């Protein structure tokens, strides 16, 4: 982890940007999908009709941006360190659903989300180590 | 949740994990062999196709379900990786991995009932 660039190239900043891009892309995809939703049309299972929404295109841009900054992060920070940190997005997304999407989240669903987050926090490090070797 | 929806959730997760691993292999290969070869190009192409399949299936699912409902299912990807590591790397399951995987599974069951 030597010779780490500073400023915009700082890998910790890029890790944060990557997480924010994933978070924002998830919310934009949901908004976009809702805009064009055609649940009675079987073709819409393919999701292709989603391309009619500009929000979906913004989400695609953010997905690509998050991917590029993630690859950059991995040049400086090992996966077994960066991956567990990046899982903070698992806490941000449900909060975003509540705050920005106005989804009604029942107590049962919150309990399930909490169990998934705790489980992910437990396995993040060993999983990243396995993924490095796969 | 219909059977079809659950099937699409599974396919979108499996294709996503497979794409990640294939792209990772391709990047590792390019570090020593460069990018101008058919092995690298074909792996990247397969990875991108799988990512695209995963993306559009998710877009279809998001038209039908809340994000707070669908998102926790991504935890299943961790379980796929655990199974894959057990099969390919003959990795033994640690107590930490077992407990974590059980918590994730229990959480997803609760979410799917909500």
In DSSP notation, B50-70 reads HHHHHHHHHHHHHTTS-HHHH
Structure confidence by residue, pLDDT tens digits, A24-56: 999 999 999 999 988 888 899 999 999 999 999
Residue A130 CB partners (closer than 8 Å, separation 6+): B81, B82, B85, B89, B91
Cα radius of gyration rounded to whole Å, chain A: 17
Half-sphere exposure of A124 (CA within 13 A, CB side): 19
Where do the structural domains in chain A lie, given as residue ranges?
7-133
Q: Which residue's structure tokens are 């073709």?
A: A43
Residue from A67, A127, A128, A129 whose CB has the most chain B CBs within 10 Å, to mutate: A127
A:44-83 residues touching chain B, CB 8 A cutoff: 44-50, 56, 60, 63, 71
Residue A3 confidence (pLDDT): 65
Q: Which of A34, A47, A95 to mutate to test the interface with B (most CBs of B within 10 A)?
A: A47
| From A47, A96, A119, residue closest to B58, measured CB to CB | A47
CA dist., res. B65 & res. B71, Å (int): 10
pTM: 0.88
CA distance B31 to B11: 30
How much of chain B, in percent, has pLDDT values that exceed 70? 99
Given this model, what pLDDT does residue A79 score? Answer: 86
Q: How far is A94 from chain B (nearest CA, A)?
A: 5
**Angle between the A54-76 and A11-36 helix axes, to the nearest 10 degrees?**
160
Quick one: closest CA in A to B69, which residue? A109
- Name the more confident of B50 and A2: B50
Interchain contact, B21 vs A123, CB within 8 Å: no
Calpha distance A91→A87 (Å, rounded): 8
pLDDT (average), residues A70-99: 90
Instruction: Output A15 or B1, whichever has higher pLDDT.
Output: A15
Cβ contact B90:B61 at 8 Å: no
Please say whether the beta carbons of A101 and A31 come within 8 A. yes
pLDDT band at A5 (very low <50, low <70, confident <90, very high): confident
What's the pLDDT score for residue A71?
Answer: 87
CA–chain centroid gap for B54, Å, is: 9
Tell me what pLDDT residue A29 has: 95
* Banded pLDDT at A2 (limits 50, 70, 90): low
Rg over CA atoms, chain B: 16
Contacts of B48 in chain A (CB under 8 A): none
pLDDT of residue B111: 93
User: Which range is least confidently modeled, A11-20, A57-66, A120-129, B53-62?
Assistant: A120-129
């Amino acid at each position: 982890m030597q010779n780490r660039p500073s400023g915009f190239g700082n890998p910790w900043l890029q890790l944060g940007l990557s997480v924010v891009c994933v978070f924002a892309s998830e919310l934009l995809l949901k908004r976009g999908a809702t805009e064009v939703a055609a649940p009675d049309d079987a073709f819409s299972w393919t999701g292709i009709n989603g391309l009619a929404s500009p929000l979906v295109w913004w989400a695609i841009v953010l997905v690509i941006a998050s991917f590029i900054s993630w690859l950059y992060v991995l040049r400086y920070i090992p996966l077994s360190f960066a991956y567990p940190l990046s899982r903070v997005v698992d806490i941000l997304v449900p909060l975003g659903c509540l705050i920005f999407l106005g989804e009604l989240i029942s107590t049962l669903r919150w309990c399930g989300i909490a169990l998934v987050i705790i489980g992910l926090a437990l396995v993040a490090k060993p999983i990243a180590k396995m993924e490095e070797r796969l | 949740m219909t059977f079809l929806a659950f099937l699409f959730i599974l396919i979108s997760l499996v294709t996503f994990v497979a794409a990640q691993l294939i792209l990772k292999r391709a990047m590792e290969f390019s570090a020593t062999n460069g990018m101008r070869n058919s092995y690298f190009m074909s792996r990247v192409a397969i990875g991108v196709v799988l990512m695209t399949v995963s993306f559009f299936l998710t877009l279809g699912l998001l038209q039908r379900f809340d994000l707070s409902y669908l998102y926790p299912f991504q935890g299943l990807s961790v379980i796929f990786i655990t199974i894959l590591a057990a099969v390919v790397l003959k990795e033994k399951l640690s107590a930490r991995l077992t407990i974590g995987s059980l918590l994730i599974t229990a959480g997803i069951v609760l979410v799917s009932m909500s």
